[in-house]
Amino acid sequence: MELTLLWTIAQRELREALRNKWLWFYAVAFAGLALALSQAGLASAGYAGLGGFGRTAASLINALLLFVPLMGLSVGAGAVAGDRERGTLLYLLAQPVSRTEVFFGKALGAGMALVAALGLGFGLAGLGLASGGDGNAVAYLMLAGFTLLLALVSLGLGLIVSTLTRKGSTAAGAALVLWLGLVFFGDLGLVGATLTWRPTSDVLFMLLVANPLQVFKLASIYSLRATLDTLGAVGQFAFFQFGTALPLVLLALLAGWIVATFGAAYALFNRKGDQ
C-alpha cells in the first residue's frame, strides 16, 4: 500500500465530505445547542450569561448522543455509495491503485472531515463555556475524546451501509434507520429486556455494551466524576467489577467497535463487485 496514493485519495474524499452541508449544519447546531443549554442552566439558577461546563454536562451528553452518530453515519454512508452511483468508483478502481488504498484513503478523508466538524462544534462551545469561568477543562477534553471515538464508530457503521448499497439515497435512508435504531430503540430495547426477562447484572452489562452509544454514555458520565447514583444500576455494577479501570475498559470497548466496524466495511468493500 503506497502512502502517497492513499493520501491523494484521502484529500479528495476530504474535499467531498467538506462539501456536505449537513455535516456543517450538525456541527454548528451542536455548538449552538451547547451554548443554549449553558445559558438556560444559569438562567434557572437566577444568573445571567454563560454557565460553566458542569452545569450542562448531562444535557450536553444527550445532545452528543443525537448529533454525533448522525454525523458519522451520514458521512460514512455517502463515501462509497455516492461514488458507485456516479460511476466514479469504477473509474477509480480502473486506475493503478489497490482496493485497500481506495478504501482506507476514503476512510481517512471522511475521518478528517469528521474531526474538523467536531473541532468546530467543540471549539465554539468550549469558548463560550469557558467565558463563564466555571468550566472543567479536563472533563471537557475527556468528553471530546470519547466523542471522537463515538464518531469513528458511527463512521465505520456508515461505511458498512455504504458498501452494501449502490445508490447514495438508499445508503442515506439506511443510515437514518440505523441511527433511529441505535439512539431510540437501543434505550427502549434495554428497558424492555430488563422488564421482560429481568436479567442478571452481568447479562444487562453485556446488553449495554452491545450498543456503542450506551458505552459512550457510560464513559462520558464517569469522566465527569459522577457519583455512583448517577451511573445507574448497570454503571454501578461495572464500577464494582472494574473499579478505577472502568474508563480503560470502556475505552477498549469503543476501540474494539472501531476496529470491528472498519474491518467489516473493508471486508465487504474488498469483494470483487466493482470491477
* 3-state SS, one letter per residue, for the chain: CCHHHHHHHHHHHHHHHHCCHHHHHHHHHHHHHHHHHHHHHHHHCCCCCCCCHHHCHHHHHHHHHHHHHHHHHHHHHHHHHHHHHHCHHHHHHCCCCCHHHHHHHHHHHHHHHHHHHHHHHHHHHHHHHHCCCCCCHHHHHHHHHHHHHHHHHHHHHHHHHHHHCCCHHHHHHHHHHHHHHHHHHHHHHHHHHHHHHCCCHHHHHHHHHCCHHHHHHHHHHHHCCCCHHHHHHHHHHHHHHHHHHHHHHHHHHHHHHHHHHHHHHHHHHCCCCCC
Give the confidence band of 55 by pLDDT, cuts at 50, 70, 90. Answer: low
> At residue 68, does pLDDT exceed 80?
yes
CA dihedral 22, 27, 33, 38 (to 10 degrees): 180
Task: Give the pLDDT band of residue 150 (cuts 50, 70, 90).
Answer: very high
Q: Write down the pLDDT at residue 50.
A: 43
CA 103 → CA 3, 10, 123, 196, distances in Å? 13, 9, 30, 42
Which pLDDT value is given to residue 19?
80
Does pLDDT of 43 surpass 70? no
What's the chain's average pLDDT?
Answer: 79
Q: Which of 31-40, 60-69, 123-132, 151-160 has the highest mean pLDDT?
A: 151-160
Query: Of the given ranges (16-20, 158-162, 168-172, 236-240), which has the lowest mean pLDDT?
Result: 236-240
State the average pLDDT over residues 20-24: 78
Q: What pLDDT does residue 151 have?
A: 93
Q: Is the pLDDT of residue 42 over 90?
A: no
pLDDT at residue 58, as a whole number: 66
Which of the pair, 259 or 18, is modelled with greater confidence? 259
pLDDT score, position 229 = 55
- Residue 38 to residue 147: CA distance in whole angstroms: 19
User: Tens digits of per-residue pLDDT, 232-266?
Assistant: 666 676 777 777 778 888 899 999 999 999 999 99
Residue 162 has pLDDT above 50, yes or no: yes
Looking at the predicted structure, is the pLDDT value of residue 37 above 80?
no
Burial 95-125 (b: 16+ CB within 10 A, else e): eebebebbbbbbbbbbbbbbebbbebbbebb
Inter-CA distances, 63 with 31, 90, 134, 270, Å: 10, 38, 21, 35
pLDDT at 51: 45
Minimum mean pLDDT range among 50-64, 86-100, 171-185:
50-64
pLDDT tens for each residue of 93-144: 888 888 888 899 999 999 999 898 888 878 877 776 666 555 567 777 888 8
- The pLDDT assigned to 222 comes to 79
